Amino acid sequence: MDIGKVKEFCGEDWEKVNRRISAALDSDIDLLNSTNRMILSHSGKQLRPLLSLLVAKTCADGPLPEDSFRVAAAAELLHNATLLHDDVADESDCRRGSPTLNSLMGPSVSVLVGDYWLVAAMNEIRGAKHFGPRLISIFSRTLTHLAEGEMLQLQKAMSGDTMEDDYLRIIFSKTASLFEAAALAAAISVNASPQTEEAVRKFAVSLGIAFQIRDDIFDYSPETEIGKPTGVDILEQKITMPLIGAFRNAGKDEEAGIRAKISEIHEHPEYSGQILEFVREKGGIGYAEKRLDDYISDAVGAISSLPRNRASEYLEEMTYYVAKRTI
C-alpha cells in the first residue's frame, strides 16, 4: 500500500486533520512551539489518523462533519504523547531515524511535552459538537488501557511467567486499544448504526493486535533490515508471540530453562543470542506469523459488512499492509 496515495485520496479532509493537529498544539511559548514543530516533522506513517479518516469516509453518507477531523487528530496526538512517554521509560535515544526529545532535552522535557500532547488530544475530543460524552468515554477508557498495559507488562517482566493470554491483553492495552478508539470514534462521529460500530470495533482491535505481533516478529528477524537491532525485547524481559510460540514446541524443562535465562538477562546479556536461536529452532517465528494471519483474517472479515467504496477498499489494503510491512 502506498501511504502517500491514501493521503491523496483523502485530499482536503487529510489537510483538515493536519491543520487540527497543528492548531491543537499552538502555544505562545516559543520553545514549546519549536519543539512541537520538530516532532511533527518526524510524524511517521500516521496510520492511526488515516485509519480514523478512512473509517469515517467508509461509513458517512455525505461530507464528513468537523467531529471526524477532531477524532482523527486526537488519535495522532494521543499516539505521539505515548511515544514521548515511552522514550523516557525505555531510555530511547532514537525514533523514526531521528534523535528523541528525551535524548535532546532530557526526560523531564519529554514527559512535559508528552503531557501537553495528551491534553491537546483530550481537548479535541472535548470540543466535539455531537456524541461528546461517548467520545470522551472512549478515549478516557483508552488511557486506562494504556496505563494498565504498561504496568501489566512490567509485572510480567518481573515475574517471567507471561502466557499467550497475558501477552494478548498487554498488546491490546498498549497498541490495539488506540486503534479501537480511533476507528470506533470515527464511526460514531458520522452517526453509524450500532451494527456498523461493532464491525468497525472488531476490525480495529484485530488490526491493532496484528500490527503489534508484526512489530514483535521484527525483533527476531534481522533479515528484515528494519534499521534497529534485534533482541531488544529479550533484553527488556518481554516475552512476546515468537517466544510464546517456541515454548509451545519445547518441553517443560526447556521452557523453564529459557524463562530462567530471561529473568537473569540483565546480569547475563549474552543469553540473548541463545534465546534468539531457541526461538528460531523451535519455530517461534512461524507460530507468530500464523497468529498474525489469524488476526488479519478476523480484521478483513469484520469489515466485509461495511459499505463497499474506495475508502473501505483502502481499509482492506491497510490490513494487508500491516501484515506484510517490513518497517
What letter represents residue 57's amino acid?
A: K
Handedness of CA 276, 280, 283, 287 (dihedral sign): positive
Strand partners, 94: 99
Tell which CATH architecture fits domain 3-324.
Answer: Orthogonal Bundle (1.10)
Q: What is the mean pLDDT of residues 185-209?
A: 98
CB 258 within 8 A of CB 176: no
pLDDT band at 244 (very low <50, low <70, confident <90, very high): very high
Residue 23 belongs to what H/E stretch?
A: helix 12-24
Statement: residue 260 has pLDDT above 80: yes
Could you state, in order of their start, the residue ranges of all structural domains in the chain?
3-324
What letter represents residue 321's amino acid?
A: Y
Count CB atoms within 10 A of the CB of residue 273.
Answer: 12
Q: Say what the pTM is.
A: 0.94
Matching residue, cell 479518516: 53
pLDDT tens-place string over residues 81-137:
999 999 998 888 888 778 999 999 999 999 999 999 999 999 999 999 999 999 999
CA 79, CA 50: separation in Å to the nearest integer?
13
Cell of 216: 514483535
Q: What is the mean pLDDT of residues 39-62?
A: 95
CA 78, CA 304: separation in Å to the nearest integer?
29
